[in-house]
Amino acid sequence: MKILGIETSCDETAVAIVDEQKNILSHVLNSQIELHKKFGGVVPELAARGHIEVLDELILQALKNANLKFENIDGFAATSGPGLIGGVIVGMMAAKTLASVYKKPFLAVNHLEGHALTARLTSDLQFPFLLLLISGGHCQILFARGVGNYEKLGETIDDALGEAFDKVAQMLGLPYPGGPSVEKLALIGDEKRFKFSKPLIDGAKHKDHLCDFSFSGLKTAVRREIEKLVGEDFSHLTTPQKINEKDQADICASFQRVVCEIVLNRLDNVQLLEKGAKKLIIAGGVAANRYIFSALQNWSKKYDIEVIAPPIALCTDNAVMVAWAGVEKMRLGLVDSLEFKPKARWELV
């Protein structure tokens, strides 16, 4: 069985073909980073138009690279939410059209489930497992029992983790996308210099939120430090160039250290729930962060848990995860109607 998957929910246009034997037959990806860079973030309308411009060509390229024809494809999958709705519609309509013309199933893939299932493509992973989903729009801890079968153990009550990375980068005047910029600069920074507090953890115990996250206060704490460093409200500055590289790097490193402490504290609390999972999968764009990954690996020794992250290129948005989620759904007969509506919001649980 060969599934063609399309990803257009944010700022990557991507098409991949994956088979049931876990072969990635092709993967083509066009990043819109250059398009959005000057705005410091993704502009939804530009993103949707950008997807339209390149998607047809990418689909043909993916087939060509795999040496296949449309007739050889057994199902057409597309991210059908959650995401920027204009982009989601572009990819979903393309997959539906192909499914209709070639009389093959259409598979509506939840983008989060795409991230969640990637590790089952790249390693021999069986259900159940713990899942730390950390992306630009989400921050959740889930217990995955099967395809479409998830229990939410914790989630952010405000910002997503990737969003926090992006905002810190923006405040420091670092290039978009923020996560990789912060990680890179943190390598040369002093992670002990700034003591940012940990929302939901420090101070009064928040008994109802033992496995939840909050990053908005952390972001404000970072802003205050920057204001102290530049000696004024830096939001009026066009470029916060008054911050020297050493200060920038120390902020990045301290921020990243606190983020890790928060994540590990929450995972400690998850262990108290005694779900009995022996594997922890990290997925989503922030899973590409090596500092967080190695902190998790150290943490895992305490609990005899194996931590697995997909290869970096498959942590951030891609179409391989969409095609693979399509394979997983198709095997279970979970095909979707052409009436399926695109969803800007679509929780896994």
- Footprint of ligand KG4 on this chain (CB under 6 A)? 10, 135-137, 162-163, 165-166, 177-180, 183, 284-286, 288-289, 316-317
> Using CB atoms within 10 A of its CB, is residue 337 exposed (0-12), middle (13-18) or buried (19+)?
exposed
DSSP assignments along 308-346, one per residue: E---HHHHSS-SHHHHHHHHHHHHTT--B-TTPPP-S--
| Of residues 124, 128, 126, 92, the one with CA closest to residue 111 | 92
Whether the CB-CB separation of 7 and 51 falls below 8 Å is answered with no
Based on the shown chain and the rule CB under 5 A, indicate whether residue 317 belongs to the binding site for Zn ion.
yes
130 vs 185, which CB is nearer to ligand KG4? Answer: 185
| 310 contact choice in Zn ion, ligand KG4, none (CB below 5 to 8 Å, kind-dependent) | none
| 178 contact choice in Zn ion, ligand KG4, none (CB below 5 to 8 Å, kind-dependent) | ligand KG4
CB of 203 to ligand KG4, least distance (A): 26
CB of 326 to ligand KG4, least distance (A): 17
Interface with Zn ion (CB under 5 A), residue total 2
Give the contact letters, 217-256, x = binds to Zn ion (CB under 5 A), - = no: ----------------------------------------
DSSP assignments along 203-226, one per residue: SS--GGGTT-B--HHHHHHHHHHH
CB of 264 to ligand KG4, least distance (A): 16
Count of other CB atoms within 10 angstroms of residue 331: 11
H or E segment at 166? helix 161-171
DSSP 3-state of 43: coil
CB of 98 to ligand KG4, least distance (A): 24
Give the contact letters, 78-117, x = binds to Zn ion (CB under 5 A), - = no: ----------------------------------------
3-state secondary structure 122-151: HCCCCCCEEEEEECCCCEEEEEEEECCEEE
Based on the shown chain and the rule CB under 5 A, indicate whether residue 135 belongs to the binding site for Zn ion.
yes
CB of 36 to Zn ion, least distance (A): 15
Amino acid identity, position 327: V
CB of 333 to ligand KG4, least distance (A): 27
Q: What is the CA radius of gyration of the chain?
A: 21
| 286 contact choice in Zn ion, ligand KG4, none (CB below 5 to 8 Å, kind-dependent) | ligand KG4
Residues that bind Zn ion (CB under 5 A): 135, 317
